[in-house]
Amino acid sequence: MALPPIKTVGVIGTGVIGASWTALFLAKGLKVIVTDPAPGADARLRDHLLKHWPSIPNAKVTQDEYLNNFKFVKEIDAYLGDVDLIQENGPERLDFKRSLFAHLDANTPEHVLIASSSSGLPSSEFITECNKNPARILIGHPFNPPHLVPLVEVVPHQGTGDAYVTAALQFYRSLGKDPVLVKKETPGFIANRLQAAVCAEAYSLVARGIVSAEDLDKTMTSGLGLRWALTGPIMTNTLGGGGDFNHFMDHLGPALKTWLDDMHRHEFDVNSQDVDVLKERVNEWTSQTNLKEIEESRNKRLAGMIKSKSEDYV
């Protein structure tokens, strides 16, 4: 089953994530029908769009088209027949998403793919009241900010149709994104789990006084992170094994086990007093930094890095 081409996207919710998705969709030449019940949401969306424009890689339209190819509506129901895909960005509350998806499923033509930006709730939990076609519902979880960072985690539930999974992957790729397929629902999907693994050990090392918060971060930004921006853990290991992952595992496996065992012995407990020690040590450092400057510089460099990566491959 081939799905019709996606020309018009419905965006539900224009918080940080929804506004950034809208910017990307518009820059790639799509029409967008967008809604958000919050007072002033329309004006805030326009501010976001203006702010994001300079940093979007490979825009396909003029700034003028970008700023005019969308319609902000108070109620989207009357327009659900006009959209080819919905990207939902509502609050991460189960009751809210359950009734929203029941409503969207009932009122949107049967073939229209509905993707949720949910970062935590798997779709199996909120499709329970969808009776029309829950097979077209899946998670399309972006990495913040979506108009910039290529990663999208596509997570079907057990009943999502293969054609919809394929269509979602194709759609995100057509926007210049780099979607990954999470084949089975799992808490935190992939990125949040890898991030949690690093954070738990980072918190433990700082709380134990092994390393300062600043030096912990430097270990990442001046070492590990530089490499991981270019090759992931599996390829890094493969290259580290002289092109042979098996060799790496056989050679480094025992050391890995020693480190992991020691990490278990000193595991960070988010419900203990270690949290207070950690907070104090982190605040000691961050209170001496200019966070606004760091964030602006990070976002600028991030855009530059992504641009240079995408240009290399074109």
The residues annotated as belonging to the active site are: 153
Tell which one of 39, 40, 95, 230 touches a second copy (CB under 8 A).
230
Does 263 sit near a second copy (CB under 8 A)? Answer: yes
Residue 69 or 192 with smaller CB distance to a second copy: 192
Q: Which is nearer to a second copy, 102 or 216 (CB)?
A: 216
Residue from 8, 237, 277, 307 binding a second copy (CB under 8 A): 237
Question: Judged by CB under 8 A, which stretch of 40-48, 98-106, 125-133, 148-156 contacts a second copy?
Answer: 148-156
Position 245 contacts a second copy (CB under 8 A): yes
Interface residues for a second copy in 100-129 (CB under 8 A)?
120
Among 57, 192, 277, 307, binds a second copy (CB under 8 A): 192
Q: Which is nearer to a second copy, 163 or 275 (CB)?
A: 275
**Is residue 293 a contact point for a second copy (CB under 8 A)?**
no
Q: Could you say whether residue 38 binds a second copy (CB under 8 A)?
A: no
3-state secondary structure the chain: CCCCCCCEEEEECCCHHHHHHHHHHHHCCCEEEEECCCCCHHHHHHHHHHHHHHHCCCCCCCHHHHHHCEEEECCCHHHCCCCCEEEECCCCCHHHHHHHHHHHHHHCCCCCEEEECCCCCCHHHCCCCCCCCHHHEEEEEECCCCCCCCEEEEEECCCCCHHHHHHHHHHHHHCCCEEEECCCCCCCCCHHHHHHHHHHHHHHHHHCCCCCHHHHHHHHHHHHHHHHCCCCHHHHHHHHCCCCHHHHHHHHHHHHHHHHHHHHHCCCCCCCCHHHHHHHHHHHHHCCCCHHHHHHHHHHHHHHHHHHHHHHHC
